[in-house]
Chain A
């Protein structure tokens, strides 16, 4: 009897080992790791106390978070014991967000947790108290200060360096991308190494375009890549021909020539007038050559005239 128990035990043992072995030997299709949902997101809290009618708060986010937005309102003249509060995202009311808010410590309190994972979760979130008071939370990735509001000017056949910079006070992007025209044509340096070159620093990126043509003019977008989103900066490039600055150049050179000739003519005219009036026997021609070394001759001529 004990030998049969032993056999059974041994068989079960073998079965378990075999099954385990099967399990490890036949790797089935592994489901994609749902890290973003299954592993816990970091949490952040933003709270605002509203005294007046409305307020706007900008929230800068780099990575996916569970964001708690808290609104506190001091109320108006009629402090009703219960009011309705709800949340809006980009103007549309958030589902199931309507609550009855009670007056506690002379304040109304509204709080909600949002999962901010990707670009579509960013935007304008508003907490509303009874359509009377509103607090806006603008959720966005760090924006760069406008690089240049005026276009960068360069010339056909020349090269140009376009720079985008994220300020020291803002967090560093993980990488940079460059796009042309409407923000969709990404510039790949590998494809055209003779035309484009991208140099990245941590906070600064430079796009070098060689051998410019007029078609290269237009809008360029630099994208600062963060985990949550990519923020774009806009730079305009203008490519002009060399004849453009040549026109004012020639105009000013002509002006200079005209003025110099006019002054010289006026001088000749004045000297002729003085000559015919009989003033001064030493000709003006003398004055146009030598500088200040006329004194010795002067002295002798004066002496001759006197004596």
Chain B
């Protein structure tokens, strides 16, 4: 899979150098996108009292923010396709900042919904997509590792923001905190500044290797290889030109892409059971009779394990055994999540919950680190931007419905174990689905690659034959000339 996409890119990604600075920038952007909505819950109680609203009305703030973030995906992809990652991230950072600053002057709860929820959420969407996309442009060989490192931003930023938010709240109340948070998210603009568009001219060694190899066997000169190179670059050129117009909007041909469809279907089912266990971990612990601090400690264990497993997963995904079949690794991660949730209700007491938190942290981190890497692997870096936009807007539904549905399950049955069983099933079934479908997909891809290689060999051979016949003709004509003038 790797060589085919390299030629499709038209250049060799640097796989290092400034790429690591870009990974750091993506780390910050992704971190803010995922952690910022979660960390705002510290202020909810006071805002609820201040505006005299009910708990569900204040919880709407999180939902509106998350919904805007996911719904803004396609808009973000469109802008990235047109302008590149850097401007979009910087605009996104400015948007979130403006939203928070305006919110600090809010007089009604609706004002907060609009500023923090809509504007803030959209700004975060403008941070997430470009950050993921630019990694694909800078890395090819080390891409799983880069993705794993960038996705680590989410737990690390959450870990930092949670106590910081508490400190800000104690010192400045909610209005002052919103104002200062508005300045803190401006650091996304710094992250955006780091996202220098990749230099595509520097490396020109990405010539199609197959034909070179075939031609070297002959006594052909550089002309032959140049001609065959021209043939293939011409193919690339036509392909990219035809796609260029479509790229300006959203790429609908993705829906015919086998790998993309597998990913989409599996993910839609999976996201129903993805976030709910995290949301309900502390309430479940308290329901078992565990005190508030120990329940909060469970979440810290979970976050800590998550933080370390993400780069580790990226590193493992990069190894030569896993990389070619990384889809199986992803399927394993999804199934493992499912198994974890199914076993959770059977573990007794606080110790059991700690064990569950550790294993769940492992599972969640593995899945998050690979989530976008496998999409890049399936559709290729140049279509990734449109793909991720489509994926986020379609995932919007399950992500928003998942926790309330799980909550309803808890309310109906009065206990948590049925919710965990349901989440386990919702993750195990897609996991198995992924295993089966990717087995077939890999078989098909190998077949297709064999065919393209054969085709290239044939065209090379034909070109060589043509050249040789031309040489013969010329040499034939040359021998007729007098010796002195032949050169």
* Residues of A in contact with B (beta carbons under 8 Å apart): 150, 152-155, 158-161, 163, 206, 240, 244-246, 248-250, 252-253, 256, 259-260, 263-264, 267, 279-282, 284, 286-288, 290-296, 298-300, 302-303, 306-307
Contacts and interface: CB of A to CB of B under 8 A. Distances in A.
B230 interface: yes
Question: Interface residue tally of chain B, by bracket?
Answer: 35 or more
A292 B179 contact: no
Nearest to A262: B193
Nearest to B183: A252
Contacts of A292: 81, 84, 137, 382, 385
Nearest to A286: B201
A251 to B, nearest CB: 8
Given A153-B173, A155-B173, A291-B80, 16 more contacts: A152-B173, A155-B176, A158-B175, A245-B172, A245-B177, A246-B179, A253-B183, A281-B201, A287-B196, A287-B199, A292-B81, A296-B237, A299-B233, A299-B237, A302-B204, A306-B230
Given A155-B176, A267-B196, A307-B230, A279 B190 contact: no
B49 A161 contact: yes
B190 A259 contact: yes
B229 interface: yes
Contact of B237 (A152, A291, A295): A295
B226 A306 contact: yes
B183 to A, nearest CB: 4
Interface in B147-187: 170-173, 175-177, 179-180, 182-184, 186-187
B229 A291 contact: no
Nearest to B190: A259
Contacts of A267: 196
Contacts of B197: 287-288, 291
Given A263-B193, A299-B233, A245 B84 contact: no
A206 to B, nearest CB: 7
Contacts of A154: 173
B247 A293 contact: yes
B11 A298 contact: yes
Closest A-B pairs by Cβ, 3 of them? A245-B176, A291-B84, A153-B173
Contacts of B237: 295-296, 299-300
A292 B183 CA distance: 31
Contacts of B171: 153
A297 to B, nearest CB: 9
A213 to B, nearest CB: 16
A188 B240 CA distance: 76
Given A152-B173, A248-B183, A282 B190 contact: no
B176 A291 contact: no
30 contacts: A154-B173, A155-B175, A161-B49, A240-B176, A244-B172, A245-B176, A245-B177, A246-B179, A248-B180, A249-B179, A252-B186, A256-B187, A256-B189, A259-B187, A260-B189, A260-B193, A263-B194, A264-B193, A267-B196, A287-B200, A291-B82, A292-B84, A295-B10, A295-B236, A295-B237, A296-B237, A299-B10, A302-B204, A302-B233, A306-B229
